[in-house]
Amino acid sequence: MKRKRFLAWAAMYAVLLILGVAWTYPIVIAVKKSFAVGGMDNYSAVLNHADFNYWSAIGNSFLLAGGSTVIIVVITCLGGFAFSRMQFRGREFLYRALLACMAVPVAAVVTPLFFSINSLGLRDSYAGVIIPLVAFNVMMMLMLTKNHFDGIPQELLEAATLDGARPFGILVRVFLPLSGPLLANVSVLSFVYCWNEYLLPNLLISSPEKYPVTQAIALLQFERMSQEQIGQLYAGLILMTIPSVLVYLFSQRYLQSGLTAGAVKS
C-alpha cells in the first residue's frame, strides 16, 4: 500500500514538473532574448519607441479589461442569483442553453460578429470590443457564481424573506457579503482573460492609438529584423505581461477558495 501511494505521489509530481517546465520554458527564453543584445537598453527603447506607445497601450488594455470585468461581475451576480434561487418558467433550459454557448469558439463567429458590430456603428471603438469580451467570458463566470450561490444555506434566504427582504435586497445584503472570495476570483479571471484577448481587438480596432497591448506589440515587428530589434520585441512582450501577472499574484490567495466555491453543498 505504501509503495502504491509513493508511486502515485511520484507520478503526480512528475506530471506537475513537466507541466511547470512546459509553461516556464518560453518565459525563460523570452527573458533571455530580451537581454541578449542591448540588455536593459531594449526595455528603454520600447518605453521610448516612436511608434509603440507602451503607456497608451497599457491604458487601453486596462480600459477594455477593467470595463469588461465590471460588467461581467454585475451580470454574473444577478444571473447567478436568479438561476440559483428564483423560480421561473424555463429556468433549467435557459441555463443549460447559456452554458452550451461556452462550446462555441470565437473564431466560429468572427464574420457575423464583425458585421454586427459594424452595423451598430461600434467598430473601432472601446464599446465595440467590450461587448463581445463580456459575451464570450460571462458564461463560465456565471457557472462559478451559480455554483457558489447554490452552496449558501437556504435557511438564510428564508430568514431574510420573513424579515421582508426582496430578492435584490437578499442578494446585496445576504449573498454578496458571503461571496468575497468568489467575487475576487471572478474579477481576476475575467480581467486576465480580457487582458490577454488578441483576436477581438485585432478584428474590431483599427486605430493605433486605441490598440491594447496584445495588438500594439505588432508595431515592434518588421519583415527583416536585426538582433537588436528582436531583443526589443521580446522586451515588449515581457513588459506586456507584467500588469496581468501582478494582478494575478496580488489576488492569488482568493483564487483557490473562489474556484472551489459551491463544490460542497450544505
266, part of any domain = no
Amino acid 196: pLDDT: 86
CA angle 45–47–50, rounded 5-degree value: 70
Amino acid 263: pLDDT: 45
Range of the domain at 250: 33-259
| In contact, 46 and 54? CB cutoff 8 Å | yes
The tens digit of pLDDT for each residue in 119-139 reads: 988 888 999 999 999 988 898
| pLDDT band, residue 262 (cuts 50/70/90) | very low
Of 2-6, 145-149, 243-247, highest mean pLDDT: 145-149
Please check the confidence at residue 50 and state whether its pLDDT lies above 90.
Answer: no
Of 30-34, 126-130, 176-180, highest mean pLDDT: 126-130
28, part of any domain = no
The tens digit of pLDDT for each residue in 152-164 reads: 888 887 888 887 7
C-alpha gyration radius of the chain? 23
- What is the average pLDDT across 257-265? 48
- What is the average pLDDT across 230-237? 83
| pLDDT band, residue 265 (cuts 50/70/90) | very low
| pLDDT band, residue 255 (cuts 50/70/90) | low
Number of domains in the chain: 1
| In contact, 200 and 129? CB cutoff 8 Å | yes
82, part of any domain = yes
Q: How many CB atoms within 10 Å of residue 246? A: 10
Mean pLDDT across the chain: 83
Please check the confidence at residue 106 and state whether its pLDDT lies above 50.
Answer: yes
Cα 113 to its chain centre, rounded Å, is 20
| In contact, 215 and 202? CB cutoff 8 Å | yes
14, part of any domain = no
Q: C-alpha cell of 256?
A: 483557490
Amino acid 60: pLDDT: 92
- pTM for the whole thing? 0.82
- What is the average pLDDT across 217-229? 75
208, part of any domain = yes
22, part of any domain = no
Q: What CATH number should be reported for the domain holding residue 46?
A: 1.10.3720.10
